[in-house]
Amino acid sequence: MNAPAPSRPVGLLAELTHRCPLGCPYCSNPLDLDARETELPTATWQRVFSEAAGIGILQLHLSGGEPASRRDLAELVAHAAKLGLYTNLITSGVGLNRAAVTKLAEAGLDHVQLSIQDSQPQSADHIAGYKGAFARKVEVASLVTETGLPLTVNAVIHRANVRRAGAMVELAVRLGARRVEIAHTQYYGWGARNRGLLMPSREEAEAAIEEVERLKTTLAGTIVIDHVAPDYHARYPKPCMSGWARRTLNVTPAGKVLPCHAAELIPGLEFWNVTQHSLEEIWNNSPAFNAFRGDEWMREPCRSCARKSVDFGGCRCQAFMLTGEAREADPVCHLSPHHRIVEEILAEARGEAAEPGAYAYRRMRPLPRSRGERLQGEDLDISAE
Ligand code: SF4
Ligand code: FES
C-alpha cells in the first residue's frame, strides 16, 4: 500500500518529561512512563525545535508530565521563541512560582494553559492526588495574568466533577483566563485504566453539555469557551488528531516521534526517534506515520462513507482498544458494527464518585504508602526557585 504524500505539519507537542507532581487518574500518558534518565538533553530538544521550524511548524506545545520539572525549560522556550515558534506551556502550575513565571515570560513564552481538576478545593486535590494543588493553581493563575501572559484554563470532566462543569467555567473567569477548555475525559493511558471510575452517566454528561453550551451564550465577550464533548455519547466519532499524521507530531521525553499521544498502544507500528532521524524524515517516511495516512487502510463502513474526509474514521487508538483492530471504524460511530461495545460501557456507567484511594493514580513507580496518598512536593524538581 502506498501512503499518499504527507500534508504540512502545523503543530509539535513536545512531551519534555513524564515527571509530574500530580497523579491525575485521567492522564493520557502511557502507563509505562519514561524515566528521567531517558529524557532528551537540552541540545537535542533545541535541534528538534529548529527542525520543526524548518519544516513549517508554527505552534510548539510544551507539555509532559509537568514541563516545569525540567530545569532547562526557560532555555528551551528562549530557543523556540528565537525561531519564531508560538510557544504554549501546558502546565499543572504546581511548582511554578513568581521567579519561574517571570523567567519564562522574559524567555519569550507566548501562552500558558493551566489545568484545574475541580471548582471545589477538596475534590480538586483528591482528583490530583496532591494536597494543596488547588491553592497553588489559584496563585499561579494570578502570577501568570500579572505577568501579562494570556491564560487558558483547562478542565477535564469526569464522574467526580461533572456536576460542576459550569462552576469550573465560572472559576476560570475569576482566575482571569481569556479562554477555558472544558474537555470530557478521553479514555487513553491512565484514563483507560480508570475508565470504570471516571465515566459519568449519560444523564450527567448531557446535563453538563447543556450547561456549558448555555454559558457560551451568557459569557460571550467575557471568556471564550472551547467545549470538547464526550465522544462516547456522540453519534459520530471525533476527527482524532485532525486525521492521522496530517497536522501534528508528538515527541516523547525519550525522543520517540508519534502521530498521536496514544499511538504506542497499537501493536506492530514502527516509531522513529529524533536521535536517529530528522523530524522531516520522520514526518515523510516513518512507517508509523504512513500506516494510516489517506483512506487505503480503511475497512467498511468507513471506506465508502461520505464522512470519511470529515472524521477520518475516528480514532485509530480507540478502534484498537475497543475492537483489537486499528483499521476498524471507531466504535463510537453508530454505523460501526462494533458500536454495541460503547453502548455496553455506557450502560455500566453509574453516577457515583470514586471513593478516596480508589483511583489508580498516575505515577512513575509504586509508592511505599497507602493508595492514592501523595506528599506535597513529591517528584518535584522545578526549574526556577
Ligand atoms: Fe466516520 Fe467511518 Fe462512521 Fe463514516 S462509518 S461516520 S467515516 S467512523
Ligand atoms: Fe491515537 Fe486518536 S489517540 S488516533
Q: How confident is the model at residue 374 (pLDDT cuts 50, 70, 90)?
A: very low
| Amino acid 368: pLDDT | 45
Ligand 1: distance of its center to the CA of 257 in Å? 27
Cβ neighbours for 217, distance < 8 A, ≥ 6 positions apart: none
| Amino acid 354: pLDDT | 62
Q: How confident is the model at residue 1 (pLDDT cuts 50, 70, 90)?
A: low
Ligand 1: distance of its center to the CA of 275 in Å? 37
* Atom of ligand 1 at shortest range from CA of 334: 3
Nearest ligand, CA of residue 266?
2
| Amino acid 379: pLDDT | 38
Ligand 1: distance of its center to the CA of 280 in Å? 30
Provide φ and ψ at 116, rounded to 5°: -125, 150
Nearest ligand, CA of residue 329?
1
% of the chain beyond a pLDDT of 70: 92
* Atom of ligand 1 at shortest range from CA of 332: 8
Nearest ligand, CA of residue 261?
2
| Amino acid 154: pLDDT | 97
Nearest ligand, CA of residue 311?
1
Ligand 2: distance of its center to the CA of 370 in Å? 33
Instruction: Give, to the nearest 10 degrees, the angle between helix 42-54 and helix 73-82.
Output: 20
CA distances from 322 to 45, 215, 318, 327 (A): 35, 34, 6, 12
What are the tens digits of pLDDT across the range 278-294?
Answer: 999 999 999 999 999 99
The Cα–Cα gap between 294 and 98 comes to 47
Residue 34 · residue 254 · CB < 8 Å: yes
Q: How confident is the model at residue 375 (pLDDT cuts 50, 70, 90)?
A: very low
Ligand 2 site residues (CB inside 6 A) read 188, 240-241, 244, 260, 262-263, 315-317
Q: Does residue 373 have a pLDDT over 70? A: no
Provide φ and ψ at 248, rounded to 5°: -140, 160
What are the tens digits of pLDDT across the range 103-148?
Answer: 999 999 999 999 999 999 999 999 999 999 999 999 999 999 999 9
| Amino acid 353: pLDDT | 63
Ligand 1 site residues (CB inside 6 A) read 236-237, 301-302, 305, 307-308, 311, 313-314, 329-330, 333, 335
Mean pLDDT of the chain, nearest integer: 91
